[in-house]
């Protein structure tokens, strides 16, 4: 028998069609819950991480740095400096006497050794408490070494992962606009794709075929120089609203670069994105090319999708991912292959997204914000889900209960964006739903 749910969490759980109430979200996790959420630092780190020619130094005790060493599948086509974990490894004496000297020495030696184009310096909980003047040290080193040294003020206790996204965007904003190179006419920036398993490269190919120039990719396969010049683009195309919207808004205010929110996940959303960009430039040619690409890809992919759909018809899925925007795309993509979503939730959802999810889902679908293992395991049992879509932390829950699983987090090694990604997704769902191993578990 399951224990009762934590009181104080009822409002973060709704059943679609049974209530007109909006879901409560953006609440700090309750003490004592085993939240699947991470911290502010984590949020900033995941966003900035793919900038591969920058030094990422984590000022704090060792844990924060070592647990985030090269755990994400964000690929780079060039430098790989980002795949290291640099830490000031604060010790007890630093806690007592302050860590500024160590930070300074670390920055100098690492910049000398690795010659990065910029340095991001993350503060963590401990630094937030011992009161090191991160900003002053960064400024000093920046002057001495003549590269941007950017403080990322991200003590973990200062909020949730989502707050970390904002901190990261602020850090990026200090880079944007510090270079002035001319770029071609139809130029966009891609915001919010992290090039997991090379996804960005799929997108670049579509845009190239369309005749669009991609100026800066922020931050997937990201480079400091390109980000510095990002304000020159005509449009910011922002994926997965959670992490990068803030930067898009900042750039609109400061440089007048408009933005567009897209999702590259699933056929509909991917096509919408291409059409949207073409529409923005009000160019007939672009529009024609976009529809050519869409047609070509649909012709290639739909027959395969149909086959999957026939076999997967009637399967039920539970979704628990980082952001609610991604959840929306997933619901649609699953529907395309005949899978019904019965549980959906996210770590850091927004109320608008949740509302949309409520409309999108069938009656009785459970919608939940900032969930935990107890709830998740209860929900998937109750709803008789066959497949769970989530991150590493959810995988063992799914497997222990005899459910199939699809990793839709940033650690995965499969590209799931774009048309090609939809095929990979269908293949993975199919493989996990149809495996003969479940005959021994259910």
Partner 1 sequence: MDIAVKEGPESFSSLRNACKLCSPLGASVVFKGIEGCIPMIHGSQGCATYIRRYLISHYKEPVDIASSNFSEETTIFGGHKNFNNGLDNIIKQYHPGVIGISSACLSETIGEDINMLIKEYEASNKDTDLPVLIHASTPGYQGTHIDGFHDTVTASVAVLAEENQSGTHINIFPGFVSPEDIRHLKDILDSFGFDYVLFPDYSDSLDNPNWSEYHLIPPGGTPVADLRRTGSASASIEFGYVLNEGTTNSRIKKNKQSFTAAKWLEKNRNVSANRLGLPIGIRETDRFFELLKKLSGKETDRKYTMERGRLIDSYVDGHKYLFGKRAIVYGDEDLVIGTVLFLLEIGIEPVLIASGGVGESLKPILDRLTEGKTKDIPVMNNMDFESINEKSDALKPDILIGSSKGYYVARRLGIPIVRTGFPVHDRFGAQRLQHVGYKGTQQLFDRIVNALIEHKQEDSAVGYKYM
Query: Where does this chain bind ligand SF4 (CB under 6 A)?
Result: 39, 41-42, 60-64, 124-126, 156
Q: Which does 382 bind (CB under 5 to 8 A by kind): ligand SF4, partner 1, none?
A: none
Q: Closest distance between ligand SF4 and the C-beta of residue 419, in Å? A: 37
Within 13 Å and on the Cβ side, how many CA atoms surround 387?
28
Q: How is residue 161 written in tokens?
A: 């992962």
254 binds partner 1 (CB under 8 A): no
What's the CA gap between 352 and 261, in Å, rounded?
14
79 binds partner 1 (CB under 8 A): no
Stretch that binds partner 1, among 16-24, 66-74, 194-202, 260-268 (CB under 8 A): 66-74
Q: Closest distance between partner 1 and the C-beta of residue 367, in Å? A: 21
Strands 366-369 and 13-15 turn out to be antiparallel
What's the CA gap between 344 and 369, in Å, rounded?
9
Q: Which does 327 bind (CB under 5 to 8 A by kind): partner 1, ligand SF4, none?
A: none
439 binds partner 1 (CB under 8 A): no
Q: Closest distance between partner 1 and the C-beta of residue 442, in Å? A: 8
138 binds partner 1 (CB under 8 A): no
The smaller minimum CB distance to partner 1, of residues 43 and 338, is found at 43
197 binds partner 1 (CB under 8 A): no
The smaller minimum CB distance to ligand SF4, of residues 90 and 270, is found at 90
The smaller minimum CB distance to ligand SF4, of residues 60 and 322, is found at 60
Structure-token match 């490894």, residue found: 89
By CB under 8 A, name the one of 33, 189, 263, 424 that touches partner 1. Answer: 33
Q: Closest distance between partner 1 and the C-beta of residue 31, in Å? A: 4
102 binds partner 1 (CB under 8 A): yes
Q: How is residue 354 written in tokens?
A: 């949740």
What is the three-class DSSP state of 404? strand
Q: Closest distance between ligand SF4 and the C-beta of residue 43, in Å? A: 9
What's the CA gap between 222 and 230, in Å, rounded?
11
Within 13 Å and on the Cβ side, how many CA atoms surround 139?
4
What is the three-class DSSP state of 147? coil
91 binds partner 1 (CB under 8 A): yes
156 binds partner 1 (CB under 8 A): yes
44 binds partner 1 (CB under 8 A): no
What's the CA gap between 163 and 274, in Å, rounded?
30
Structure-token match 């440089």, residue found: 255
Q: Which does 298 bind (CB under 5 to 8 A by kind): ligand SF4, partner 1, none?
A: none
DSSP state at residue 214: E
136 binds partner 1 (CB under 8 A): no
> By CB neighbour count within 10 A (0-12 exposed, 13-18 middle, 19+ buried), where does 355 fall?
middle
By CB under 8 A, name the one of 37, 56, 289, 383 that touches partner 1. Answer: 37
What's the CA gap between 369 and 364, in Å, rounded?
16
Core vs surface per residue 75-92: b (16+ CB within 10 A) or e: bbeebebbbebbbbbbee
């Amino acid at each position: 028998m399951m224990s009762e749910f934590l009181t104080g969490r009822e409002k973060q759980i709704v059943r679609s069609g049974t209530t007109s109430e909006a879901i409560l979200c953006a609440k700090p996790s309750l003490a004592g819950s085993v939240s699947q959420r991470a911290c502010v630092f984590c949020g900033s780190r995941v966003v900035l991480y793919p900038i591969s020619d920058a030094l990422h130094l984590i000022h704090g005790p060792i844990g924060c740095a070592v647990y985030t060493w090269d755990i994400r599948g964000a690929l780079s086509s060039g430098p790989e400096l980002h795949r290291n974990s640099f830490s000031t490894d604060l010790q007890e004496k630093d806690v007592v006497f302050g860590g500024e000297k160590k930070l300074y020495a670390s920055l100098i030696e690492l910049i000398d050794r690795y010659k990065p184009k910029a340095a991001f310096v993350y503060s963590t909980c401990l630094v937030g408490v011992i009161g090191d003047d991160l900003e002053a040290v960064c400024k000093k080193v920046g002057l001495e070494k003549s590269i941007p040294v950017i403080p990322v003020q991200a003590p973990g206790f200062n909020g949730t992962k989502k707050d970390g996204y904002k901190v990261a965007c602020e850090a990026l904003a200090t880079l944007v606009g510090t270079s002035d190179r001319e770029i071609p006419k139809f130029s966009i920036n891609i915001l919010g794709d992290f090039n997991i398993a090379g996804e960005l490269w799929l997108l670049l190919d579509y845009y190239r075929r369309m005749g669009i120039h991609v100026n800066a990719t922020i931050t997937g396969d990201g480079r400091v120089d390109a980000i510095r010049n990002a304000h020159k683009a005509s449009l910011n195309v922002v994926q997965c609203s959670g992490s990068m919207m803030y930067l898009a808004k900042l750039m609109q205010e400061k440089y007048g670069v408009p933005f567009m929110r897209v999702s590259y996940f699933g056929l509909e959303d991917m096509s919408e994105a291409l059409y949207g960009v073409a529409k923005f430039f009000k160019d007939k040619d672009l529009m024609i090319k976009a529809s050519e690409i869409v047609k070509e890809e649909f012709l290639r992919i739909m027959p395969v999708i149909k086959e999957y759909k026939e076999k997967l018809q009637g399967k039920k899925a539970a979704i628990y991912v980082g952001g609610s925007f991604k959840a929306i795309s997933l619901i649609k993509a699953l529907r395309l292959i005949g899978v019904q979503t019965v549980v959906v939730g996210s770590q850091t959802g927004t109320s608008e997204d949740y509302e949309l999810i409520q409309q999108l889902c069938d009656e009785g679908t459970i919608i939940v914000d900032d969930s935990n293992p107890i709830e998740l395991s209860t929900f998937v049992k109750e709803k008789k889900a066959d497949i769970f879509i989530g991150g590493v932390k959810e995988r063992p829950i799914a497997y222990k209960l005899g459910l199939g699983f699809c990793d839709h987090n940033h650690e995965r090694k499969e590209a799931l964006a774009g048309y090609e990604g939809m095929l990979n997704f269908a293949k993975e769902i199919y493989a996990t739903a149809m495996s003969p191993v479940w005959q021994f578990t259910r």
